[in-house]
Amino acid sequence: MTQHTRAEIDQLMEASLAALRAPSILNSQPWRWRTRGPDVELQLDPDRRLPGVDPAGRLMMMSCGAALHHALAALAGAGYAGDVDRLPAGARPDVVARVRLGPAVPPDRSASAAINRRRTDRRPFADVPPSDRDLSALRAAAHRHGVALQILRADQVDAFADIVALAGAAEREVPAYTRDVAEWSDRARTSGDGVSLADVSASGPYRVPPRDFALDRRPGLDPGGGTDRGTVYAVLVTRGEDRADWLAAGEAMSDVWLTLTARGLAASPISEVVEVPQAAAALRRLLGWTGHPAIAFRIGRPGDPTPPPPSTRRAGTDVVGLPGDP
Ligand SMILES: Cc1cc2nc3c(=O)[nH]c(=O)nc-3n(C[C@H](O)[C@H](O)[C@H](O)COP(=O)(O)O)c2cc1C
């Protein structure tokens, strides 16, 4: 390997390590990175499937999309373009993307600087809603990936809350679902994955409450002083519903989230609405059949100036292979 290629691989490995901080369904981190010649390959990790929550693998693919976008944001921050082949033709089905170092470009830290500050903030948000400029920036972030971000009108929020409640109630009746949530929200401290009950708040003045991770256990996050009155609800909508659409939705989700973090806003996703087919259909109807809802978000100004603690991650050596690793 030439010196030049080794430096390129190092840059790509650093970007894959930065992508450890990407959000993922139940913090399952369902990906791994492997070097293949001059590329790093992003692969689905089949051992991290969630058969109850995500039988089709949609949220797993979206999580990989978020990791891919985080890696590309890290490369842009270091002053490199990434040359990406998404779902490469003829590759094994677990191969999500191949990334090669592109040309040097002026460093753009607008997204990479937000990677370590981004959190899932499930607490009630503040009184004052995000500004119109904020919302335009978020729509533009989704649009960069061919995905629409539909912000719900105030008169749609009650119907949306009903759909989320319907999805939550339906899921609680499905043993495979509750098994996944219980398993991934009560992990050994050393596992480096899963949702900690310390990141989930018990109650608050929510119009649309976050997912019930606790399932009769005790959540540990202080909800803070937010009223949740300024919270807006948004849905990422794709044109189709295949793996490429889910991957694009994941990249859009990451872009929207890093963009809102950079603007001082906070968010938490609501994916129950796409996990339950009847809820997804009701949401499509609410949105006027404009496309396929990929995920919903609650977005607001933080109700509390102290961010929630960072959630755990696996060690880089568990996720990113060295050159020569199978
Ligand atoms: C595809 C996807 C779906 C998610 N769905 C939910 C959800 O329904 N409710 C929720 O509170 N968090 C949801 N999350 C957030 C994850 O739980 C969170 O990213 C993970 O626990 C890591 O925490 P962090 O985002 O603070 O780093 C989702 C994340 C992804 C990528």
- Give pLDDT tens digits along the chain (326 positions): 455 578 888 999 999 999 999 999 999 999 999 999 899 999 999 999 999 999 999 999 999 999 999 999 999 999 999 999 999 999 999 999 999 999 999 999 999 999 999 999 999 999 999 999 999 999 999 999 999 999 999 999 999 999 999 999 999 999 999 999 999 998 888 899 999 888 787 688 999 988 888 777 777 778 888 999 999 999 999 999 999 999 999 999 999 999 999 999 999 999 999 999 999 999 999 999 889 999 999 999 999 989 999 999 999 999 999 888 88
- Within 6 Å (CB) of ligand 1, which residues are found? 23-27, 59, 62-63, 66, 119-120, 122, 195, 210-211, 268-272, 295, 311
95-104, strands of its sheet edge to edge? 31-36, 39-44, 95-104, 80-86
Q: Which residue has the tokens 């793996």?
A: 243
Q: Distance, CA 298 to ligand 1 centroid (Å)? A: 12
Q: Quote the CA–CA distance of 14 and 297 in Å, as a whole number.
A: 29
Q: Distance, CA 9 to ligand 1 centroid (Å)? A: 30
3-state secondary structure of 147: coil
Residue 105 one-letter amino acid: V
Q: Quote the CA–CA distance of 113 and 74 in Å, as a whole number.
A: 8
Beta bridge partners of 201: 221
Atom of ligand 1 nearest to the CA of 275: 8
> All domains of the chain, ordered by start, with CATH?
3-110 (3.40.109.10), 132-300 (3.40.109.10)
Q: Which residue has the tokens 């060295």?
A: 322
3-state secondary structure 215-264: CCCCCCECCCCCCCCCCEEEEEEECCCCHHHHHHHHHHHHHHHHHHHHCC
Chain-centroid distance of CA 33 in Å reads 18
Chain-centroid distance of CA 160 in Å reads 20
Atom of ligand 1 nearest to the CA of 59: 1
CB-CB contact of 58 with 66 (8 Å) = no
Q: Distance, CA 75 to ligand 1 centroid (Å)? A: 23
